[in-house]
Amino acid sequence: MFKAIRIQIPQPCKAQCKWCGTWKKNNFFTKLRDENLSLILDTYSEIIREYKPKYLYVSGGEPILLPQIDKFLQRVAPWVGKYIYLFTSFQFSAKRRDNLSLEKMPWEKMVLTHTSAGFDEKYWLDMTHGFPFELYLDNIIKLGQKPWHKRFKFILNHKYLRGELEKFADIIKPDNSWSISLKLMNNQSGDFGADKIKETKKNVIEILDKGVANLSLPVAFKTKITGEKIIEGFRTGQGSELCPYRHQPLELRFALYKGTPEYIKFKYRFCSHFPSNKHFIFKTGRDKIEDITNAYKNHDFFHWCKKCRLKLYT
């Protein structure tokens, strides 16, 4: 039913990136992992088996560090139509990297996914509270040699794009198993407005059309603006009626909420643009998967659309 499902794995992330607050949940993740891991993974498995998404997004924490993460992904892979995106910060020791649970990975469906702030060492150290830059690069290179697809997502001002892509090409030396995604929804042009976002996209495409040194291999680029149709709806007075999430079940997003040794509560939602406090609750032992289906089909979330975060860009 849902084109994509996003799940959260309770494996703590030691990275302390300024653009991410997930590491603040490490104590919570540790407790859930130690007390409820089997229940969490079994619940995810049942939901993935029921909906059979085209894409599965696996976030955390730092899910790649979870012991036996490969066996879990191998278990659910038959129910995923195309790709499993495994998110990582690449911020862990060489010892942890060399002892990851990768033997049973369903390699043909795996996409190792990373969000980067670029390759300026001084900026990197500031944004990550001092994680060793050379170790970060070494982790990318070493794990990039594994037989999965790799997706690198840049969040940076388009003015610096060419230089950062040249550094990426020189350091990582990507082949055609890599793809690059350019996030165009940030304050990259000095303005949050939709016109400036479109200007950013135009500038980025011009840079790519002219070519980037040392990046001549067929590395795939994605420059689509997130929520472009929704933004246009708000700008033209059609509100959220153009929102594709309202017309078809595109995404089911889970986040860990509460837990005891007896049950787990998940938060879930059908759109990434709702305010963070808007969500449904799924409690193991109480709720059924069909409750999730009905919540979508009954349009129970439509009244949240008036608080859509994409209004910021209009």
Q: Which residue has the higher pLDDT, 216 or 130?
A: 130
Residue 66's nearest CA partner among 39, 29, 116 is 29
In the 8-state DSSP scheme, what is residue 279? -
Q: Which residue has the higher pLDDT, 64 or 189?
A: 64
Give yes or no for residue 237 having a pLDDT over 50. Answer: yes
Question: What are the phi and psi torsion angles at 112 (to 5°)?
Answer: -80, 125
Return d(Cα 167, Cα 114) in angstroms, integer.
Answer: 16
Q: What predicted TM-score, i.e. pTM, was given to this entire model?
A: 0.92
**Strand ranges of the sheet holding 251-259, from the earlier edge strand across to the other edge:** 220-222, 178-182, 149-154, 110-116, 83-87, 55-59, 4-8, 251-259, 264-269, 280-283
Q: What pLDDT band is residue 7 in, cutting at 50, 70 and 90?
A: very high
pLDDT cut 70: percent of the chain above it = 88
Return d(Cα 70, Cα 14) in angstroms, integer.
Answer: 20
Q: What is the per-residue pLDDT for 185?
A: 54
Give yes or no for residue 191 having a pLDDT over 80. Answer: no
Average pLDDT, the chain: 87
Q: Which residue has the higher pLDDT, 182 or 79?
A: 79
Q: What is the per-residue pLDDT for 196?
A: 66
Give the tens place of pLDDT for each residue, 46-91.
999 999 999 999 999 999 999 999 999 999 999 999 999 999 999 9
Alpha helices for 110-160 (secondary structure H): 121-127, 133-144
Q: What is the per-residue pLDDT for 44?
A: 98
Q: How confident is the model over 277-285, as a mean pLDDT?
A: 94
Q: What is the per-residue pLDDT for 223?
A: 62
Least confident among 71-85, 93-107, 234-248, 287-301: 234-248
Q: What pLDDT band is residue 184 in, cutting at 50, 70 and 90?
A: low
Q: What is the per-residue pLDDT for 188?
A: 45
Q: What is the per-residue pLDDT for 218?
A: 56
Give the tens place of pLDDT for each residue, 154-174.
876 677 788 888 888 898 888
Q: What is the per-residue pLDDT for 189?
A: 43
Q: What is the CATH number of domain 4-313?
A: 3.80.30.10
Q: What is the per-residue pLDDT for 300?
A: 85
Q: Is 5 helix (H, G, I), strand (E, B) or coil?
A: strand
